[in-house]
């Protein structure tokens, strides 16, 4: 072996190691993403569930649904907001997000008469949720008409419920919070 070839041999060995490492990391990332998207939560579509809230916090509940639903389909789903453990009154807003679809897809909901959707994508409760009570956010989920669901895939819908105590100025606080 010539002394002039040592540099080339070293470069080929290093590049081969980097190629193998990138293939291993790429494949493990692919399988991780597939297993994440096909993971199941304890909640399923059609089961009613209740999201417990605390004052001045965000609470999240997620559930899994199959891509076998058709775009524009209405799915029965009762989502309640539970403040039975609270001693204080709170203002409430709700947002739902779907994971597993590339586009930024938003759902519509058949909500109770006290929830109204605002321009920021949140549904605001028009009254005060008193401690010790619970309210129904929605009774049906309306899937977007332009969503591209794959029937063999699983999707995750997350509901984020944010609360503020009534002593705070919710209009200014929520207006100035960055949206995700």
User: pLDDT of 10-24, one tens digit each?
Assistant: 888 998 998 888 888
Q: How far apart are the C-alpha atoms of 54 and 56, rounded to whole Å? A: 6
Domain ranges of the chain: 3-37, 49-166
Q: How far apart are the C-alpha atoms of 153 and 155, rounded to whole Å? A: 7
In degrees, to the nearest 5, what angle opens at C-alpha 34 toward C-alphas 107 and 98? 10
Q: How far apart are the C-alpha atoms of 176 and 159, rounded to whole Å? A: 21
> How high is the mean pLDDT of the chain?
78
- Tell me: the pLDDT tens digits for 101-120? 655 667 778 888 889 888 88
What class, spelled out in words, does domain 49-166 have in CATH? mainly beta
Rounded to two decimals, the pTM is 0.67
pLDDT on residue 177: 55
Q: How far apart are the C-alpha atoms of 43 and 159, rounded to whole Å? A: 12
């Amino acid at each position: 072996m010539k002394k002039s070839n040592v540099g080339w041999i070293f470069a080929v060995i290093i590049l081969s190691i980097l190629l193998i490492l990138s293939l291993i990391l790429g494949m493990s990332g692919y399988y991780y993403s597939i297993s994440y998207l096909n993971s199941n939560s304890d909640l399923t579509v059609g089961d009613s569930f209740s999201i417990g809230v605390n004052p001045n916090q965000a609470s999240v509940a997620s559930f899994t649904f199959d891509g076998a639903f058709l775009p524009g389909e209405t799915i029965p789903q009762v989502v309640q907001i539970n403040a039975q453990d609270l001693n204080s009154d709170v203002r409430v807003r709700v947002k739902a997000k779907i994971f597993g679809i590339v586009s930024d897809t938003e759902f519509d909901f058949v909500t109770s008469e006290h929830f109204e959707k605002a321009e920021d994508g949140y549904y605001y409760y028009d009254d005060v949720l008193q401690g010790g009570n619970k309210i129904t956010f929605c009774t049906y989920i309306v899937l977007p008409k332009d969503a591209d669901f794959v029937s063999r895939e699983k999707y995750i819908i997350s509901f984020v419920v944010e609360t503020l105590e009534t002593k705070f100025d919710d209009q200014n606080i929520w207006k100035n919070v960055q949206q995700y």
